[in-house]
Amino acid sequence: MKNVNIPFLFAVKTGVDLLPPLQHRHIAIAENRLYEKFVLKIVDRDELAFMDFLSSPQMLLDPRNHTVPFSHVTGIGYGKTVIAMPKLLPLDDISLFSLQTAQCYNLIRQMVEGFTFLHAHGVAHMDLKSANIVIDTSLERLYIIDFGLAHKVKGPEDTLSGFRGTKQWVAPEIEENGYAYSAIRADLWAVGELIRTVLDV
């Protein structure tokens, strides 16, 4: 997959123009003929399997499901697929100082709700951070993105070893080389950090 990167996506679909790329060779912002912006991302088969599972018709009926909506665009070989997602506001780009108390509470409630839903269905995200939380422009609905490090679990007693996540967002036990840790409990630690991010304004 070393030779596949964002410039390849120019040929993915007719009528789509790429805007200046993000700092990630597998992600680009695109615009259609109606000037609607969306995100294109190259995902591997494991990430796609988690997203398909969480976006099944039955799963989508549950209002606690905060998985970002997406659609398949095309397979590109090597077990990779291009998907399209709506362009939403990353939590990192929102001025939390400007939010009202009720809006902050709503974001926190949805974070907890969304990750409770994932864990109830045996999915540990393993890369929880503010960059992987996106919100619609009305600031009413929160979504979870990037299942590239997600892991299937049966419950909080299921353990992993080895580093997964983003350095400043991982639970302390993940930092310890060779230490077996609970994937769900590591997620919960990161949820706590996300809540602190919203409240620490």
Compute the Cα dihedral for 176, 150, 64, 95 and give only its sign: positive
Best CA proximity match to 13, nearest among 25, 33, 5, 1: 33
Best CA proximity match to 30, nearest among 48, 15, 43: 15
- Check 127, 136, 158, 187 and give the catalytic one: 127
Per the annotation, the verdict on 158 as an active-site residue is no
Phi, psi of 200 (to 5 degrees): -85, 65
The pair of structure tokens assigned to 163 is 């580093």
Q: Which residues are catalytic?
A: 127
